[in-house]
Structure 1
Amino acid sequence: MSSTTTPYAAGEVSEQKSAARRLIFISVLVATMGALAFGYDTGIIAGALPFMTLPVDQGGLGLNPVSEGLITASLIVGAAFGSLASGYLSDRFGRRLTLRVLAVLFIVGALGTAVAPSIAFMVAARFVLGIAVGGGSATVPVFIAEIAGPSKRARLVSRNELMIVSGQLLAYVLSAVLAALLHTPGIWRYMLAIATVPGLFLLIGTFFVPASPRWLASKGRFDDAQHVLEQLRDSHAEAHREVEEMKTQAKQAHKRVPVGELLRQRWVVKLLFIGVGLGFTAQFTGVNAFMYYTPIILKHTGMGTNAALTATIGNGVVSVIATLLGIWAIAHYGRRKLLMTGLVIVILAQASLGSVLQFMPQNLTQSYAALACILVFLLFMQMCIAPVYWLLMSELFPMQVRGLLTGVAVSMQWLFNATVAFLFPIAISSLGNPTFYVFAAINLGSLLFVALCLPETRGKSLEQIEKHMKKEL
C-alpha cells in the first residue's frame, strides 16, 4: 500500500510547492511594480532637469536653482504624505486595495507631469505622483514581508529595492537614449510620460494577487488567512502552524492593551524612534543628491549635457549590481553589520568626492575621479544600506500597528529626502564643494546611532521579532 500512496503524496507535495512559489513570485512581481514606478519617477528627474532648465521658448520651464529644488522636492513631500496616509489605509482596508489606489495615482500624476504647462502645475503634479511613490514605499515592503515566510523574507523584501534601482537605471538609460535620438523641444515630457507604464501594470496586477494573510488575521479573519497561506506555503501543515502562531499573537495583543495604549508604550515609542532614525541615516548619506543631481555635478566639472546623462547610466548599473550583491549579503550577515560597513565606506567616499572637486583642476580627469567616487558611494549605499533599511521597515514594528508605524517612519524618511533634495542645489551654489564634507560629518553621527541603538532582527519570524523587541526595549 505504501509503495502506491507514497509517490502520489510526494507528487502532491511537489505540486503544492510549485504552485506556492509561482503565486509568491507573481505577487512579489506585481507589488514591486510600485517599486519600479518609484525608482523610475525618482530617477527620471535627473535626466529631465537639464532640459527643464532651458527657457520656455526652447521647450523648457526656465528653472533656476530654487525652482529646481522645489520641483524635485515636491514629489518627495508628496511621498511623505502618501506613506503616512497609506499606513492608515493599509491597516484599515488592506495592503492590496491600497496598492490599487496608489496605481491610479501613479498614472494620474505621471500624465500630469508630462503635460505640465508651468512650474506651478509641475509642482502640483509631482506632489500627486509623490503620494503614490510614498504610499508604495510604505506598503510594498510590508505586503511582501507578510506573504513571505521567515526563511524567504529578507530575499523577497530586498527585491523591492532591486526594482527601485532597476527603475532608476531604466530612467537613466531612457534619458540618454531620448536625448541622443530626439532633438525636439520638450523632450523631458516624453521622459516623464513613460512613468505611466509601471502604474498600469500595478493596477492590473492587483486583481491577480491574494490579500495579506497577516492583515486578514489582524481583522480576526483567521479562516481567510489560512486559505491564503495554504496557497503561499509549501504544505498545509506549514500554513496551519503559521496561523496558530498568529492566533496566539493576536490573543496576547488583545489581552495586553488596545492600539491607543500600545502606541504609548515605551518599547513601541523607542521602535518608532529607531525607525525614524534609520530614515535619517538612509537619506542623509546624500544618496539622492547623486540620484537626482549627478548630471549637474558632472556638468560643473566640464562635461557636456549628453555626456553627463550617459555617465549617469553608471549610477543605475552600479546600483543594480550592488542591490543584487546586497540580496546575497543580507541572507548571510546581520542587519547591523551591513549598515555599519556601508556607512564607513559612504563617509570615506563623500570626503574623497569633496577633495576631488575642491583640489583637483577642472578637466576630464577630475570628471572621471568624481564619477568614480560617486560610483563607489553608490555601490556600498545600495548594497549595505538601502536594502537593509527597507527590510527593517517591514519587520521592526508590531503587527497591531505595523502599517501605521511603517507609514510614519517612512513618511519621515521622505521628509528627510525632501530636505536633501531641496537644499542640495542651494548648498552647492552657496557652500560649494565643502557640501560633501558636511555629508561625511553627518554620516559619522549616523554610524554612532546604528552602533548604539539598532537591534538585530535576522533569522526571526515577525512574531518572534515583536516578542524580542518588547523584551529588549
Structure 2
Amino acid sequence: MSHDGQQKSSSLTLVLMVASAAIGGTLQYGYNLAITNAPTTFIQTFINETFAARWAVQLEDFQVTLVWTVIVSIFSLGGLGGAIIAGPMSIRFGRKKCLLLSNIFLLSGALLALASRAAGSVEMIVLSRVLIGINAGIGMNVQPMYFGESAPKHLRGAVSLSSAVFTAFGVVLGQVVGLREILGSESRWQYLLASNAIPGLIQLLTLPWFPESPRYLLIDRGDKEACVDALRRLRGREVPSSELAEILQERAETAGARPSRPWELFRDRSVRWQLISVMVVSSAMQLCGNDSIYFYASYVFKEAGISNEQIQYVTIGTGTCEFTACIMCNLLIERKGRRFMLMGGFVLMTVWALVFTVALSFEHLISWMPYLSMACVFTYILSFGMGPPGVTGVLPTEIFTQTARPAAYMIAGSMMWLNLFIVGMIFPFLVSEMRQYCFVPFGTVCLLSALYVGLVLPETKGKSLSAITDEFHKLNFRHEEGPCGGRSRYRAGEASASTAL
C-alpha cells in the first residue's frame, strides 16, 4: 500500500474509533438529558396513578413535581457515582475496556425502564436513571482521556472536542426521538426511556475492533509492542519516531510513580491552581443552567409564552443550536484558543440572561416579547456551545500529567455531576418562584466564570505541558521569594510534567 493510502486508512481508523467510542459515550449524556422532557406529562400521570393504586393517595401538584424532579435529577447522582469510579476503572482496565464495561450499567437501566410501566413501579424508573447516569458519568470522564491520548498532537484539540459535538448530537437525537409522532406519546414513553440501549449496543459491537490508547499501553502497562502496534493502526504503517520518543520520555519521567489519588491532588501545591481551574470551569458548566434547560424545556418555554402544542418542536431547536455551536467551536478553537472561546461563551451567556430577564418582565405588556424570550433561550444555548462544553472536556488533558489525569477527571466529573444534580433539583421551583428573574442566578454564575477565566486561566493552545506548568507555577508559588525559593524547591515535583502533550 502506498504512503498516501496508509495515511488515509489510519485517518479512517481514527475517525471510526472516535465515532464508536462517542456513540456509546458522551452521546449518551446528551441523549439522556433530552429524552426526559417529552414524556413529562405522561410520566407525571403515571406517578399519580401508581400512588393512587398502591396507597390510595392522590398527590398534590407540588408533590408530583417533586417526585418527577427526583426521577430527572437522580440521573446526576448516578453520573457522580460514575465519575468517581471512572478513574480507578480506566487505570485497571484501560480506556477502551472501561467504556465497554460501562454498558453493563446502561443495559441494566434500559431493561428496568422498559419494564417499569408493566410493573407499575416508579422505583424502577428511579433506579434505571441511576444506572444510566453511572454509564454517562464513566463515558464523560474516560472518553476525553481516550481521545486525547490516541489522537496525533495536531489533531488532539479537535478530536477531544468531538466529545462535546457528540453530546450535542445526543441532545438533538433525544429530542427528535422524543417527538409524539415517534416515541414521545403516552403509549410509548417506556420505550423512549429504554431507547438509550441502542447506542450502547452499537458501541459493544464496534469498539472492540479499535486499539487501546497508545499512551496507556506504554506508560501505564509498560507494553511497548502493543503501543507501537496501536500507533501503527492510528498513524499508518510507519510509526512517527518523535511521538514514540515523546511517550517513552514521559514514561521515563513518571517511572515508579503510581497514579495520583484525588485527595493527593488537593494536597499537592504544585497543581493547586490547575485543580481550582478545573473545578471552577466544571462547576460553571452546570451552574450556568444550560443543561437543565433540556431537563425542563417545557417549564422554560411555557414561562416564555409558547403554547403546549409547539413546545416539543421548539425544543428541537435548542439542541440544534448547541450542536451547530459545538461544530463551530471545533473549527475555531485551534485558531482562537481555549481561553478566548471559554471566556467569550460565558460573557455572551451573561448578556443573553440579562436580555431574557427583561423579555420575561415585559411579555404581558408587549405582544412580541414571548418571541424575544424564545430567541434568548436559543442564543443562550448557542453561546454555551461555542466554548464551555468543548474546552471543559479537554482542559484536564492539557494541564495534568498522565499519572494525575484520571484523578483530575474524577474531581472535574464529580463537580459537574454534583452541580447538575443541585441545579436539576431546584430548577423547576426556581422557574415557578422567581418567574421572570429565574435566569438572574445563572447570569451571575456566567459573569463570575468569565472573570475567573480572564484573570486566572492561561492559554493552553499550542503549548507544551511544561510551558503550561510554568505559567501555573507563577500562581502556585507566587509568594515564594529569593533565588532559593519556589522554583528550585519544587522543581522535582514538576519533573513529571515536563513532556509535551
TM-score by length of 2: 0.85
- How many angstroms apart in 1 are the aligned matches of 2:433 and 2:70? 17
**1:227 partner amino acid:** D
CA distance in 1: counterparts of 2:463 and 2:177, whole angstroms: 41
Q: Give how far 1:106 is off.
A: 1.7
Structure 2: how far apart are the matches of 1:118 and 1:457? 49
Kindly indicate whether the alpha-carbon contact (under 8 Å) linking 1:180 and 1:306 is maintained by their aligned counterparts in 2: no
Aligned to 2:15: 25
| Residue of structure 2 equivalent to 1:80 | 80
Residue number in structure 2 paired with 1:413:
416
Q: Which residue of 2 aligns with 1:326?
A: 329
Note the C-alpha offset of 1:346.
0.1
**Which residue type is aligned with residue 196 of structure 1?**
A
Whether 1:105 aligns to 2:105 is yes
1:46 to 37, 59, 63: 37
User: 2 CA distance for matches of 1:211 and 1:23?
Assistant: 12
**Contact kept in structure 2, 1:398 and 1:466, CA below 8 Å:** no
Q: What RMSD, in angstroms, separates the aligned Cα atoms of the two structures?
A: 2.6
Query: Among the aligned pairs, what percent are the same residue?
Result: 26
2:451 counterpart of 1:422: no
Q: Distance in 2 between matches of 1:427 and 1:472?
A: 37
* Equivalent of 1:230 in 219, 226, 232: 232
Partner Cα distance (1:123, 1:30) in 2: 28
CA contact (8 A) 1:246 1:463 kept: no
Q: Structure 2 vs 1, CA of residues 182 and 142 (structure 1 numbering), >3 Å: closer, same or farther?
A: closer
| Preserved CA contact (<8 Å) 1:66 1:426 | no
- Give the residue type in structure 1 aligned to 2:251: A
| One-letter code aligned to 2:18 | V
Q: Is residue 35–residue 178 contact of structure 2 (8 Å, CA) maintained in 1?
A: yes
- Match among 117, 120, 130 for residue 123 of structure 2: 120
Tell me which of 396, 401, 404 is aligned to 1:398. 401
The within-5 A match list for 1:48-447 is 48-56=39-47, 64-116=64-116, 117-176=120-179, 179-180=180-181, 185-219=186-220, 220-234=222-236, 236-238=238-240, 240-254=241-255, 259=260, 263=265, 264-361=267-364, 365-447=368-450
Structure 2 Cα separation of the partners of residues 472 and 458 of structure 1: 19
Partner amino acid, structure 1, of 2:30: G
What is the alpha-carbon distance in structure 2 between the residues aligned to residue 463 and residue 236 of structure 1? 28
Alignment-mate amino acid for residue 233 of structure 2: Q
What CA distance in whole angstroms lies between the structure 1 residues aligned with 2:184 and 2:347?
43
- Pick closer, same or farther for the CA change 1:235–1:182 going to 2, 3 Å: closer
Amino acid at match of 1:213: P
Q: What does the per-residue CA deviation read over 1:311-361, in whole Å, with 9 as the maximum and x for residues that have no partner? A: 101111111111111111112111111111111110011111122222221
Going from structure 1 to structure 2, the CA distance change for 1:248 and 1:291 (only over 3 Å counts) comes to same
Q: Write the letter of the residue equivalent to 1:230.
A: R
Q: Distance in 1 between matches of 2:330 and 2:185?
A: 41
State which drifts further: 245-254 or 120-129: 245-254
Aligned partners of 2:333, 2:311: CA distance in 1, in Å?
A: 33
**CA offset digits 1:165-197 (Å, max 9, x no partner):** 111101111222xx1467963432122121111
SS at match of 2:296: helix
Report the Cα distance in structure 2 between the residues aligned to 1:465 and 1:228, rounded to whole angstroms: 28
TM-superposed CA distance for 1:431, in Å, is 2.5
Q: Deviations over 1:221-253 (max 9, x none)?
A: 223212211221246251x32222122122222
Higher helix share: 1
Alignment check: 8 A CA contact 2:95 2:142 kept: yes
**TM-score for both structures, normalised by structure 1:** 0.90
Structure 2 residue identity aligned to 1:113: A
Distance 2:351 2:342 in 1: 15
Aligned length: 460
**Would the aligned equivalents of 1:51 and 1:187 in 2 still touch at CA under 8 Å?**
no
Which secondary structure does the structure 2 equivalent of 1:399 belong to?
coil
- Letter of the 1:223 counterpart: E
One-letter code of the match for 2:33?
T
SS in 1 for 2:387: helix
What SS class does the counterpart of residue 463 from structure 2 fall into?
A: coil
Q: Is the 8 A contact 1:301 1:364 kept in 2?
A: no
Distance apart, 1:466 and its partner CA: 6.0
SS of the aligned residue for 2:178 comes to helix
Q: Deviations over 1:40-61 (max 9, x none)?
A: 1111112122322225577999
Instruction: Assess, with a 3 A threshold, how the Cα gap between structure 1 residues 283 and 321 changes in structure 2: closer, same or farther.
Output: same
Between the aligned partners of 2:191 and 2:368, the Cα distance in structure 1 is 33
Q: 1:364 to 1:30 in 2, by over 3 A?
A: farther
1:338 partner amino acid: M
Q: C-alpha displacement at 1:455, in angstroms?
A: 2.1
Deviations 1:435-457 (A, max 9, x none): 21121112211111111221221
Going from structure 1 to structure 2, the CA distance change for 1:301 and 1:258 (only over 3 Å counts) comes to: closer
CA distance in 2, matches of 1:256, 1:246: 15
Deviation at 1:301, TM superposition (A): 4.0
Go from structure 1 to structure 2 and tell me whether the alpha carbon gap of 1:25 and 1:276 turns closer, same or farther (over 3 Å shift): same
Q: Report the Cα offset of residue 429 of structure 1.
A: 2.4
